[in-house]
Structure formats: C-alpha cells, structure tokens
Amino acid sequence: MRFWSILSALPVLLAGAAAPMPQAAPPAADAPVPLLVAHVVARYPHDTRAFTEGLIFADGGFYESVGREGESEVRRVRLADGKVLARATIPPAQFGEGLARWGDQLISLTWHDGVAHRWDRKTLRPIGTARFPGEGWGLANEGKSLIESDGSATLKRFDPATMRVTGRLAVTIRGKPVDQLNELELIDGRILANVWRTPWIVRINPNSGKVDAVVDLRPIIAEVKATDPEAVPNGIAWDENGRRLFITGKLWPTIFEVKLEPAAG
C-alpha cells in the first residue's frame, strides 16, 4: 500500500472500522490507532535553505544533515538562534540523508551511494566511511543498533561498527504496510517516523512494527505556510535529559518544540 492509500484510509483506520481491502485479504485485527496532536511549546529559528534530512539533539543544540545536490553537509546548530556553528562537507557527488549519534561519533547516510560517513561529534572531522545496502533515508540510534529507513515499509537494523544489516522490521498500521518512512527518532522505547509528503508522524512499536499512534502535524504545517511542494515535514529530535521534543521540515523557517497530546474527541 502506497502512502497516498494510507492517507485516504487513515480516518477509517483510526476509527477502527474496516478499511477497503482486496477480497482475498483477511480483515485487520488490530485495535484502533489513537490520533495525537503536536501542541507548540516554543519556536526556534531554522535556516530556510536547509533541506533537512536528519536532525538530532545533543550537546545542548542540534546536529543536522542537510541534503543538497552537490553541496550536502552535516552541521552543528545553536538552539537559541539557529546559527550554524560548524559544518562538515559531504562529497559533492553524494546526497546527504539521515543522521544518528553513536557514542562520540555521528553517522550520516547518503541517498543512492550506499556510503555512510563517520564524523567526530565534537569537531565534525571525518573519521571514516562504511558501506551499507540499498537507499539511505532516515537513521536513529536504538542503543545497541542503528535503525534505518529507505522509503519502504521495512526498517533495517545495522551494527553501528560495521553497518551490516542485523535485522528487519515490517511496519504496519492495522495490518496494512506503511511505506515512505523517512526521518526517524527513538523516544521512550518507541520509533517516531515522518511519513514523506504527508502531515503524519507514526509511532512504531520496535518489537512488533505496529503503529500504535499517529501524530497530526496539520496545524503546524498551516502555520509554516510553505509554498514549495518539497518543504514537507522532516526532522524529529529528542532531548532526553530535558524531555523536549522538536520537529521541523525541509526549508522550514522554524524548529518547533512540541508536546504530544490526544486529539480532542
């Protein structure tokens, strides 16, 4: 099922009614999926030229992977004013994608090249590369492993030391696959994932792959008022110590600190 099918079926899935399915397929047996709303707590400046592919919170600010044809980079960004404090350049032939922290390193993906770059977290100095299979979209630290999206409905787990695949996780909502999974973040034992070109973040059980909540970003998208069709939500960062959740999008002027609460009604 492509992401536009998930979008059209989402109200039905959330309500718990049976969505239209091919006649031969069995009905979904999962419980209804709750809808959460992202209420804005604070706003911080964001570079409107940043085509955000990965976002993490560490060392009191953000690290951000920015994808651009011929000039992708990894940045350290100050929280208060969005100033770029340091940059690391990705080779011009590669398009930068997801980003994750692993100890004193940052690991960033490339889209089509199958190359993962390693950076010293403090200096952003390049310290090596590794190969990985398939496309690279989002990346997050799961503790003992990295978890990666490639636009499909299956997340892959990697050994951070070798970038070899150690497992796969099929993502479903009420029995139906959810693809176009993009930027990822681990929060309190759940995976949050932007669904590309939609206003939804899905919350995924890392053991079963089932979506157990959907976050509605439509009010925030309405505030951003982006005119570029590529300026979609993509960027989730978690401040574990401060218990703060941040979201942004490609080319957005703002990083939003939000709290997730059940939708009214």
Dihedral angle computed from the Cα positions of residues 78, 50, 234 and 231, in that order, rounded to the nearest 10 degrees: 140
| C-beta separation of 61 from 78 below 8 A | yes
Backbone dihedral region for residue 198 (phi beyond 0: left; psi -120 to 50: alpha; all else: beta): beta
- Residue 3: pLDDT over 70: no
Q: Please tell me the distance from the alpha carbon of residue 175 to that of residue 30, in angstroms, as a whole number.
A: 7
Amino acid 195: pLDDT: 98
Greater confidence, 265 or 180? 180
Amino acid 32: pLDDT: 87
Q: Please tell me the distance from the alpha carbon of residue 157 to that of residue 148, in angstroms, as a whole number.
A: 6
> Of the given ranges (26-30, 183-187, 204-208, 248-252), which has the lowest mean pLDDT?
26-30
pLDDT above 70 as % of the chain: 88
Strand partners, 177: 172
Q: Euclidean distance between the first and final Cα of the chain, in Å?
A: 28
pTM value is 0.90
Closest C-alpha to 138, from 203, 182, 187, 199:
182
Q: Please tell me the distance from the alpha carbon of residue 183 to that of residue 21, in angstroms, as a whole number.
A: 28
Q: Can you give the residue ranges of every domain in the chain?
A: 3-9+31-257
Three-class secondary structure of residue 11 per DSSP: helix
Amino acid 21: pLDDT: 32
Dihedral angle computed from the Cα positions of residues 124, 142, 14 and 177, in that order, rounded to the nearest 10 degrees: 90
- Residue 25: pLDDT over 90: no
Give me the residue label for tokens 């919350």.
203
Tokens of 264: 């009214």
Q: Which fold has domain 3-9+31-257?
A: Methylamine Dehydrogenase; Chain H (2.130.10)
- Residue 56: pLDDT over 90: yes
Confidence of residue 23 (pLDDT cuts 50, 70, 90): very low
Amino acid 228: pLDDT: 96
What's the whole-number mean pLDDT along residues 203-220? Answer: 98
For residue 219, give every residue at least 6 positions away whose Cβ sits within 8 Å of its Cβ, in sequence order, or none: 37, 38
User: What does the pLDDT look like over 39-53, one tens digit per residue?
Assistant: 999 999 999 999 999
What's the whole-number mean pLDDT along residues 184-191? Answer: 97
Greater confidence, 147 or 27? 147
Give me the residue label for tokens 């190969």.
131
Give me the residue label for tokens 């032939």.
93
- Residue 18: pLDDT over 50: no
Amino acid 27: pLDDT: 43
